[in-house]
A and B are shown apart, each in its own frame.
Chain A
């Protein structure tokens, strides 16, 4: 079946450094790729998403890149801050199957 692999499972960075989280997907018909941030005691919250007709999208310190040929996409956070510390989930959705498949999450810790 369809799956999404996410790496790394944990990531520690110094405040001000960049953080990169990578995901690969198996369903070549996937066309929507959201990223969710989950803070302690809260549900996941969408921070950025990208559709298959673009290769890159940026929103302030957050950017997502998509390589459809290689079937992978990445989240880039620049100038990290302690409040960026959370668990980040990638996901992939396919119009064919109409399913949203999540990765296993990356715990990001930003040290001051």
Chain B
């Protein structure tokens, strides 16, 4: 276990649904991240939160909406998604919000958009 949990592990949704992904870290870290992992492509950084403040939005469509109520929890709210949004969504945390430190990843949520 890495100390980062994600729920649900699998999610199937229609294009008109609204759902949320949840991430929780038990490591006392100050930075949390959302990544999208698609087959044959590099991990794509979506959002970064550092001390609960969003410090990066990597040109992500507005149908993805992050929320970070505290340093331990991170949500990704989904609405009106497209089939091409189907992917593995990974949450990660690190001690500080600089990329020159180890990131601890959760197991991911496998999302399928029908």
A and B co-occur in one complex: yes
Interface residues of A (CB under 8 A from B): 4, 9, 31-32, 34, 36, 41-46, 49, 51, 89, 93, 95, 98-105
Q: Give Cα distance in the complex from A100 to B45, angstroms.
A: 8
B12, chain A: closest CB distance, angstroms: 17
Residue pair B2, A45 in contact (C-beta under 8 Å):
yes
B79, chain A: closest CB distance, angstroms: 25
Q: Give Cα distance in the complex from A102 to B105, angstroms.
A: 14
Residue pair B45, A44 in contact (C-beta under 8 Å):
no
Given contacts A32-B100, A43-B2, A43-B90, are A99 and B45 in contact (CB under 8 A)? yes
Q: Is the interface of B mostly helix, strand, loop or mixed?
A: loop
Residues in A neighbouring B108, C-beta threshold 8 A: 42-43
Residue pair B42, A102 in contact (C-beta under 8 Å):
yes
Known contacts A46-B103, A103-B42, A104-B42; 12 additional CB pairs below 8 A are: A9-B40, A32-B99, A32-B100, A41-B107, A43-B2, A43-B90, A43-B92, A45-B104, A46-B102, A89-B43, A100-B45, A100-B103
- Counting CB contacts under 8 A, is B70 at the interface? no
Q: Is the interface of A mostly helix, strand, loop or mixed?
A: strand
> Nearest residue in A to B88 (C-beta to C-beta)?
A43
Residue pair A104, B45 in contact (C-beta under 8 Å):
no
Closest 9 CB pairs of A and B: A43-B105, A100-B99, A32-B100, A93-B99, A102-B42, A102-B43, A46-B102, A44-B105, A93-B100
Residues in A neighbouring B45, C-beta threshold 8 A: 99-100
Task: Find residues 29-62 in chain B having any chain A CB closer than 8 Å to their own CB.
Answer: 40-43, 45
Q: Give Cα distance in the complex from A36 to B35, angstroms.
A: 14
> Nearest residue in B to A5 (C-beta to C-beta)?
B42
Residue pair A95, B100 in contact (C-beta under 8 Å):
yes
Residue pair A104, B105 in contact (C-beta under 8 Å):
no
Residue pair A101, B42 in contact (C-beta under 8 Å):
yes
Q: Give Cα distance in the complex from A100 to B4, angstroms.
A: 19
Of B42, B90, B105, B107, the contact of A4 (CB 8 Å cutoff): B42
Q: Give Cα distance in the complex from A31 to B43, angstroms.
A: 19
Q: Give Cα distance in the complex from A61 to B41, angstroms.
A: 28
Given contacts A32-B99, A34-B102, A95-B100, are A43 and B41 in contact (CB under 8 A)? no
